[in-house]
Amino acid sequence: MRSRSLRPPHETLPFDIYLSTVDALYSDARSLLAGSIGAPIAALITYWKSGDGTLLACAVALILIGTARAFDMRNYARQPRPGTLAQARRWETRYIVGSAAYVAVLGLWCFLAFAHTTDPVVQLISLSAVLAYLIGIAGRNFSNDRLVVIQTVCAAVPMIAGLLVQNDIYYTFLALLFVPFYLSIRFISARLRGILFDAVMATHDVRLLAERFDTALNNMPHGLCMFDAQRRFVVSNSHFTTLLGLPVGPDRAGQPVATLLDECLRAGRLPAAMAADIAERFTAALAVTRRETFALETVDGRALELTFEPMAQGGCVVLVEDATERRSAEAKIEHMARFDALTGLPNRTSFTQQFERLLQGVQATGRAARGVLFVDLDDFKKVNDTLGHSCGDALLAEAAQRLRRVVREGDLVARFGGDEFVVLQAMWGGRDEAANLADRIIEAIGTVFEIDGHQIVIGASVGIAVAPQDGTDVEQLLKSADMALYRAKADGRGVWRFFERGMDVKAQARRALELDMREALARNEFQLHYQPILDLRTGRTVVCEALLRWSHPQRGMVSPAEFIPVAEEMGLIVDLGRWVLRQACIECTQWPDDVGVAVNLSPIQFRRTNVEALVRDALTVSSLAASRLELEITETVLLQDTPTTRTALRQLRNMGVRVALDDFGTGYSSLSYLQAFPLNKIKIDRSFVIGIDADPRAMKLFQGVARLSAGLGMTVVVEGVETQQQLAMVHTEKTVTEGQGYLFSRPVNSTAIRAFLETERAAARVA
């Protein structure tokens, strides 16, 4: 308080409060008018009593100054309120000058009354008038410290001087008594000013806090309202009234819940048919003692989510969120997880779930049998090899459309991956229905395709299994249809075959493959090839992915798609995975120090081995730094979502090993994985790159997945970059920092990858 009183108000107070102190000086003219009339009259009386002309001069001066001050107050009232600090200070100074002049004349009058006269009546009148004015200072002008000091000095100094010139001990004693009186006026004014300003500042701070709270409340992205313990409305923000369609303006404080809900219904925002249900749910949610959430849909189709949070002292806070866009985004992500991005058909997961439900209906009610038609496109690989993957993908999309057109409403078409499709048919007329559908499929697929200016002719082979005769569960029926498909291909392709119990050719081939794989690891038939992953900003390789290859003496190069699933089913993937991890780490030590190696881990390895110990052993044997090892896992690993899986991934991260989610956006993709698991990198599946150079929607989808992943702090890699056009489109999305694909390099053996890296580094040194 003391530091505030020693400085001008404009330096210690906010402008609006300082301006109010200036307003106060000019606000009440009555006390000024009373003083302007009373003091001159008293001065005239002293002149009349004493006949001293100097007293008359003082009376005239008081009248003139008082009149000037009255006009000044009127001018202040008539003019616009000061809008700047400089304007306010000028008006304050004018008041101080006028007041100081008036008080100085009063003090002079008192001094002359004692110095020029000996009449006690004249002296008493002048002394009393000045004292009265001094007392008024503390009541009227205490808010302005400078004004109090100036007025006190201008009045007190002449008064004390007048008493002292009497050369009388009693007058001298009286003069000394007035000194503490003057000081008390100063102290009282300072105390009143401190109390006033503290109260004003507290009020100002409360108002400012309330304004800020109101601003924050009304700028929330959600609607918010509060109810007290009696379920009466307390407060809400503007977004709450907007979301519920309530009119803006009415004060709803104290309004009961029923009245508020009635107002919402009258506003036409909520469906009238659901009024009773909404009211019941709303009221019940307010009564609970734990967090409660429920959703409702507005008349215009918006989805609102209401969250009820009870308060400790009773009452409840209700948060209203417009979840329309979020639900739409979730639906899109869900669609991405359940449907094939290329063809728009259900994927294996979605198909399996729907098939299981239908099978339960067949078994429970004995309704129509179900035909499972496994469709494989003949000669599709030749299209990919000769015309490229983009043309092959367009062919797959068109083939999917043809399949949709030949099936009946209610039949289900799904893509199982690659060039394999499955059709689930409701059979009301026996096996002939399935045969007829297979004929239509073969005919439709066999018609010439027009793709990118090319006329393409392929065929289709179909394997058929019938439920429940050929199996009572999804896996068994799919295996039966697959075996029938194998027979159709063996019989010349372009035909269909029903499953027969004697179809074991493929099963025998599978067993032969299993036997060969058991011996292949011992005979060192497996090899590792490496495909670079480049930093798109620098063009330099940062990681090489280790890819397993099998060179069989009789079979030749066996596709990983053929032997990896078999190895997983056999459990051989555990030993094979240990060998791959060791070899990849050893090979990585031969590369530049800033290049790491990426190794794929199978879900089987997480279930059957201690992954942390496996990785630690590989790092120890190879002496490779943990930071140079990157482990790629599939969404199948995350689907297990067991404490063991979570612990293993966390331990790997703690070791310094990086963890990447491979093929994100396909299969079972879920946003919850990105939050729940300790991932460093996301590898966007190649299917998202397909068509981004020609299809704006494909580009939008690609950007959405990339930005979502990058926004969660993960490195984003795009797979399957095969053309310069695709690379150019990928470069436009800055959140994607790494790329992999045939455009940069095909997978090559260890000798070739070392040469590749050396050439790359040599080129960088020259540049």
What does 156-225 look like in DSSP terms, one character per residue?
A: HHHHHHHHHTT--HHHHHHHHHHHHHHHHHHHHHHHHHHHHHHHHHHHHHHHHHHHHHHHHHHT-SSEEE
Percent of the chain residues topping a pLDDT of 70: 86
Q: CB-hemisphere CA count at 13 Å for 436?
A: 11
Q: How far apart are CA 314 and CA 331, in angstroms?
A: 37
Q: How far apart are CA 220 and CA 216, in angstroms?
A: 6
Percent of the chain residues topping a pLDDT of 90: 21
Binned at pLDDT 50, 70 and 90, residue 4 comes out as very low
Instruction: Give, for 648, the enclosing helix (H) or strand (E).
Output: helix 643-655
**Residue 8 φ/ψ, nearest 5 degrees:** -60, 145
Q: How far apart are CA 351 and CA 404, in angstroms?
A: 15
In sign, the C-alpha dihedral spanning 586, 591, 594, 600 is negative
The answer to whether residues 298 and 270 touch, using CB atoms and an 8 Å cutoff, is: yes
- Residue in the block written with tokens 């009555």: 30
Q: How far apart are CA 21 and CA 669, in angstroms?
A: 67
In sign, the C-alpha dihedral spanning 245, 247, 249, 254 is negative
Q: What pLDDT sits at residue 6? A: 46
The answer to whether residues 489 and 376 touch, using CB atoms and an 8 Å cutoff, is: yes
Binned at pLDDT 50, 70 and 90, residue 665 comes out as low
Least confident of 310-314, 506-510, 555-559: 506-510
Residue 213 token pair: 């709270």
* CA distances from residue 652 to 337, 415, 599, 645, 710 in whole angstroms, order as listed: 27, 35, 13, 11, 21
| Per-range mean pLDDT, top range of 232-246, 253-267, 498-512, 624-638 | 624-638
pTM for this structure? Answer: 0.40
| Higher-scoring residue by pLDDT: 455, 159 | 455
Residue 558 token pair: 């066996």
- Residue 499 pLDDT > 70, yes or no? yes
Residue 267 token pair: 């506003």
Q: What pLDDT sits at residue 313? A: 74
Q: How far apart are CA 508 and CA 469, in angstroms?
A: 22
Three-state DSSP class for residue 118: coil
Q: What pLDDT sits at residue 1? A: 39
The answer to whether residues 393 and 691 touch, using CB atoms and an 8 Å cutoff, is: yes
Stretch 111-136: mean pLDDT: 82
- Which residues are within 8 A (CB) of 248 and not within 5 positions of it... i.e. 6 or more apart? 238, 241
Q: What pLDDT sits at residue 3? A: 41
- Average pLDDT over the chain, rounded to an integer: 81
pLDDT tens-digit series, residues 346-358: 988 888 888 888 7
- Residue in the block written with tokens 């299969």: 667
Stretch 202-213: mean pLDDT: 63
Q: What pLDDT sits at residue 89? A: 84
- Residue 667 pLDDT > 70, yes or no? no
Q: What pLDDT sits at residue 571? A: 78
Least confident of 60-74, 242-256, 324-338: 242-256
Binned at pLDDT 50, 70 and 90, residue 578 comes out as very high
Least confident of 135-144, 266-275, 297-306, 571-580: 135-144
- Residue 120 pLDDT > 70, yes or no? yes
Q: What pLDDT sits at residue 389? A: 84
- Residue 59 pLDDT > 90, yes or no? no
The answer to whether residues 465 and 499 touch, using CB atoms and an 8 Å cutoff, is: yes
- Residue 56 pLDDT > 70, yes or no? yes
Residue 405 token pair: 């057109």
SS (H, E, C) 252-269: CCCCEHHHHHHHHHHCCC
Least confident of 241-250, 438-447, 450-459, 649-658: 241-250
Q: How far apart are CA 194 and CA 5, in angstroms?
A: 7
Q: How far apart are CA 131 and CA 280, in angstroms?
A: 74
Stretch 24-43: mean pLDDT: 74
Stretch 158-175: mean pLDDT: 81
Least confident of 88-97, 137-146, 621-630: 137-146
Stretch 550-576: mean pLDDT: 84
Would you tell me the crossing angle of helices 15-27 and 169-218 to the nearest 10 degrees? 130
| Higher-scoring residue by pLDDT: 99, 580 | 580
- Residue 373 pLDDT > 90, yes or no? yes
Binned at pLDDT 50, 70 and 90, residue 31 comes out as low
**Residue 491 φ/ψ, nearest 5 degrees:** -90, 15
Q: What pLDDT sits at residue 5? A: 45
Stretch 289-315: mean pLDDT: 79
Q: What pLDDT sits at residue 649? A: 85
- Residue 468 pLDDT > 90, yes or no? no
Facing residues of 535 across strands?
738
Start-to-end CA distance of the chain, whole Å, equals 70
- Which residues are within 8 A (CB) of 421 and not within 5 positions of it... i.e. 6 or more apart? 345, 374, 375, 376, 377, 399, 400, 403, 413, 414, 415
Q: What pLDDT sits at residue 86? A: 85
| Higher-scoring residue by pLDDT: 29, 515 | 515
- What's 494's DSSP letter? S
Residues in the chain: 767
Least confident of 76-90, 170-184, 335-349: 170-184
